[in-house]
Amino acid sequence: MDFLIYLALVPALGVTAQWLAWRTKLPSILLLLLFGICLGHFVVQPDSLLADLTGGDETAGPNILFPLVSLSVAIIMFEGGLTLKLSELRESGSSSLRLCTVGAALAFVGNTLAIHWILGFAWHLSFLLGAILVVTGPTVIGPLLRQVKPSRRVASTLKWEGIVIDPIGAVLAVLVYEEVVLAQSAPHFSSALKSLAITGAIGVGLGVAGGALLTQALRRYWVPDHLHGVTALSLALLLFALSNMIAHESGLIVVTVLGIWLTNQKHFDVEHIIELKENLRTLLIGCLFIVLGSRVNLTDLATIGLPGIGLIFALIFIVRPVSVYLSLLRSPLNYREQTFIAGLAPRGIVAAAVSSVFALSMESRTDLNIPGSDQLATVTFLVIIGTVAVYGIAAAPLARLLKLAEETSRGVLIAGADAWVRDFAAELKAAGIPVLLVDTNYNKISQARMAGLRGECANILNEHAREDLDLAGIGRLLAMTPNDEVNSLALRECRTLFDSSRLYQLTFKSKNTAGRRGLTKNLMGRELFGEGLTFTRLSEMHAAGASLKTTKLTESFSFADFQEKYGEVTTVLCAITSEGALNINTVDAPLVPAAGQTILALVSSTPVPDKHAVKASKKRPESSQTDDANKDDEASSKDGEANA
């Protein structure tokens, strides 16, 4: 195969696998590995391709691939560090610390015993592979948590463990390799502790120094905005390489600490840096698993046979639960939360990369003769495939069984809590749809709570306020404040919480739809309910006597019958299917209600002309100071300013 075609094919396969994973709700890493194995088995392996390019040099593949793999893993770990907020440690700090220390030590011992007894590996190799398999996998756990959406405390604990334990496991593997495998003797604990202290000090020291340096450079405007992302990335890669040169595998500690430092400093916003790394991480994960998976030989996997299946069973059902339950004994987490954590420990890219590096090192050492060393990477990939498949399929049902996650993310987060919005939320709740209202006006939230609704008095634009929201079972955002600017900004700030197809916003007021003083279309989500249905229009209809009505459609009472009974001015807001799924009426996808669905509509007792302004003070809502949708009044409502 032409090398250029191969270079283009790898990312294309990576994106295709991740797209299929999104469509099928399967773990993306599982499909990536399967795609990679098929590429290597049926098309070409990267080692043979690179050997051909270099005139038959059999070492060209590993020598070229693994520096690139190491740098890619560094970027992934750096991005992982950027997601770790120290504020999360209020709920999960103690549990995460226990899992990364006591839990890691217990997992190391359990992994080693299982590998030695089940696979029959020598103790030296069992210790090394046991250390490698201590790591879990943030590249797998992150997507699983987004898919399952367990309780916030559990998700935070797993996220911290998944990212922090990777450099711990890598450093532990290095210590075992140097102190046990190379020495071919029992470990010298004083020497091992000294190496561990040096590696940790170098990693943390360089990470903190790099973070402080970059913080000063950016806050003093020494670096232009368009270079922020690439500067942070370049510094992370440079520190990773320098640290690894000083102390092997300390680079993973450096990039993780650097990411944690940057995301928790308060001097400048790192959102644009995080966005760059998220896109790069997605591409790199796809390419890495395709390439590394293509190096796995199916014959080697089949050779392991039933002992390999037995090892996966032992790791999932014995080692992980024992290490979690013992390390979390008397922790703040309850038994259900501990059980879910015990049922989620997939291995990922760090295990694959580290095992491949050590396998290459042992192959190049003629003085080492350890039975089974040639199977090190193969066993690791088998464990990755097995754990990802089992945990990926079982995570969601387990979370629902333990009542740590909703059956589906049917619920809605609503920005705004005016009178008609509260009535809308109340109807949704009565129909079985979870609802959470967020508004800066305490009186509105108080009235929502008195009506039996969940409400939070907070600013949806505040990052810390969003992090404190309990979004279990919530899958959509409806921005319905009186202020178009606030609605648009809320959608932009919540893009990391919800997919763009699940971000909704009321239609702009006419003054905001055109002209240089208006808002641009790219600041909008999906337009709610219908053309021209602005906040002002809906609140006026409500104030004039329109009511929200929930109606079950049947074969004998169709939507046409509903319109005939209540008039064509009726506005359908959403529909709930017989399975309980919520479908929201939007401009881009108008609802076509059918029999069996329950529709929620705004029914007007008296049609309100387009240019009519409601003046009845007794029925005037809190938000009625908002300018009329079709008058182009330039005065902003006081309530809109409060939300801003």
Q: pLDDT band for 431, please (50, 70, 90 cuts).
A: confident
Give me the pLDDT at residue 622, please: 42
Q: What is the dihedral of CA 401, 402, 408, 414, to 10 degrees?
A: 160
Q: How large is the average pLDDT for residues 25-32?
A: 78
Are 333 and 341 within 8 A, CB to CB? Answer: yes
Tens-digit pLDDT profile for residues 511-520: 555 555 555 5
C-alpha–C-alpha distance, residues 527 and 589, integer Å:
9
Greatest alpha-carbon span in the chain: 93
Handedness of CA 298, 300, 304, 309 (dihedral sign): negative
Residues 299-319: what's their mean pLDDT? 87
3-state secondary structure of 407: coil
pLDDT at residue 639 tops 70: no
Question: Which residues of the chain are in CATH 1.20.1530.20 domains?
Answer: 85-277+297-402
Angle at 390 between CA 45 and CA 142, to 5 degrees: 80
How is domain 411-604 classified at the CATH fold level?
Answer: Rossmann fold (3.40.50)
pLDDT digits (tens, 9 = 90+) for 30-43: 788 888 888 888 88
Q: Which two tokens stand for residue 76?
A: 């992934």
Residue 601: enclosing H or E segment and its boundaries?
strand 598-603
d(CA 318, CA 157): 21
Q: What is the pLDDT of residue 612?
A: 46
What DSSP state is assigned to residue 557? S
pLDDT in tens, 547-592: 888 888 888 888 888 877 776 667 888 888 877 788 888 888 888 8
Q: Cα separation of 321 and 238, whole Å? A: 38
Measured CA to CA in angstroms, residue 315 lies from 31, 108, 309 at distances of 22, 11, 10
In the DSSP assignment, the letter for residue 181 is I
User: Rounded to an integer, what distance in angstroms lies between the CA atom of residue 353 and that of residue 522?
Assistant: 40
Query: In angstroms, how far is CA 400 from the centroid of its own chain?
Result: 19
Query: Where is average pLDDT lowest: 47-51, 470-474, 582-586?
Result: 470-474
d(CA 532, CA 541): 13
Interatomic CA distance for residues 168 and 253, integer angstroms? 8
Residue-by-residue DSSP string for 258-291:
HHHHHHH-SSS--HHHHHHHHHHHHHHHHHHHHH
3-state SS assignment for residue 548: strand
* DSSP secondary structure code for residue 554 in this structure: -
Distance CA 339, CA 271 (A): 34
- State the span(s) of the chain assigned CATH 3.40.50.720: 411-604
- pLDDT at residue 427 is higher than 50: yes
Measure the CA–CA gap between 400 and 394, rounded to whole angstroms.
10
Task: Quote the percentage of the chain above a pLDDT of 70.
Answer: 85
Which residue in the block uniquely carries the two structure tokens 């192959």? 363
Instruction: Read off the amino acid at residue 140.
Output: V
Counting Cβ atoms within 10 Å, is residue 337 exposed (0-12), middle (13-18) or buried (19+)? buried
**Beta strands per DSSP E along 447-495:** 454-457, 474-479
Candidates 77, 70, 71; CA nearest to 256 is 77
Tell me which H or E stretch contains 415. Answer: strand 411-415
pLDDT bracket for residue 316 (50, 70, 90): very high
Is the pLDDT confidence value at 630 over 50?
Answer: no
Mean pLDDT of 148-157: 80
Question: Is residue 132 scored above 60 in pLDDT?
Answer: yes
CB distance 354 to 170 below 8 Å: yes
d(CA 640, CA 484): 8
Average pLDDT over residues 326-348: 87
Q: Is the pLDDT of residue 363 over 70?
A: no
Q: What confidence score (pLDDT) does residue 522 get?
A: 59
The CATH number of the structural domain formed by 85-277+297-402 is 1.20.1530.20
Where does the pLDDT of residue 632 fall: very low under 50, low under 70, confident under 90, or very high at 90 and above?
A: very low
| pLDDT for position 636 | 38
pLDDT digits (tens, 9 = 90+) for 212-269: 998 888 888 888 888 888 888 899 999 999 988 888 778 888 888 888 888 888 877 7
Q: Is residue 313's pLDDT more than 90?
A: yes
Closest-CA residue to 351 (of 202, 130, 203):
130
What length does the chain have? 644
Q: Which of 387, 382, 359, 375 is nearest to 308 (CA)?
A: 382
CB 569 within 8 A of CB 537: no
Helix axes 152-176, 251-264, angle to 10 degrees: 150
Average pLDDT of span 602-629: 48
pLDDT tens sequence across 260-285: 888 888 877 777 777 777 778 888 88
More confident residue, 289 or 362: 289
**Any idea what the Cα angle at residue 33 is, between residues 392 and 126, rounded to 5°?**
85
What is the rounded CA–CA span in Å between residue 14 and residue 19? 9
Task: Kindly state the tokens that stand for 120.
Answer: 């029959």
User: Which distant-in-sequence residues (6+ apart) come within 8 Å of 425 by Cβ?
Assistant: 414, 417, 435, 437, 448, 453
pTM comes to: 0.71
Q: What is the structure's pLDDT at 16?
A: 92
Q: What is the mean pLDDT of the chain?
A: 79
Only one residue has tokens 């309910």, namely: 529
